[in-house]
Amino acid sequence: MGLRCGIVGLPNVGKSTLFNALSNAKAESANYPFCTIEPNVGVVTVPDARLQVLEEIVNPERVVPTIVEFVDIAGLVKGASKGEGLGNKFLANIREVDAIIHVVRCFDDPNIVHVAGGVDPVFDKDVIDTELQLKDLESIDKKLQKSERSAKSGDAVAKKEVAALQRFKAHLEAGNNARSLDASEEELAAVEDLQLLTIKPVIYAANVDEASIPAGGNKYVDALRTHIANENAQVVVISAAIESQIAEMDDPEEKAMFLGEYGLTESGLDKLIRASYDILNLITYFTAGVKEVRAWTIHRGDKAPAAAGVIHSDFEKGFIRAEVIKLDDYVQYRSEAKIKEAGKMAVEGKEYVVQDGDIMHFRFNV
Task: Look up residue 107 and give its DSSP letter.
Answer: -
First and final C-alpha spacing in the chain: 22
**36 known ligand binder:** no
Cβ(129)–Cβ(177) below 8 Å = yes
- How far apart (Å, rounded) are the C-alpha atoms in residues 108 and 278? 30
- How far apart (Å, rounded) are the C-alpha atoms in residues 90 and 49? 35
How many CB atoms within 10 Å of residue 158? 18
**160 known ligand binder:** no
Cβ(296)–Cβ(309) below 8 Å = no
**12 known ligand binder:** yes
Residue-wise DSSP of 50-94: HHHHHHHHH--SEEE--EEEEEEPPP--TTGGGT-TTHHHHHHHH
Furthest-apart CA atoms within the chain: distance in Å: 70
**13 known ligand binder:** yes
**255 known ligand binder:** no
Cβ within 8 Å of residue 342, ≥6 positions away:
329, 333
Per the annotation, where are the binding residues?
12-17
Sequence ranges of the binding site for ATP: 12-17
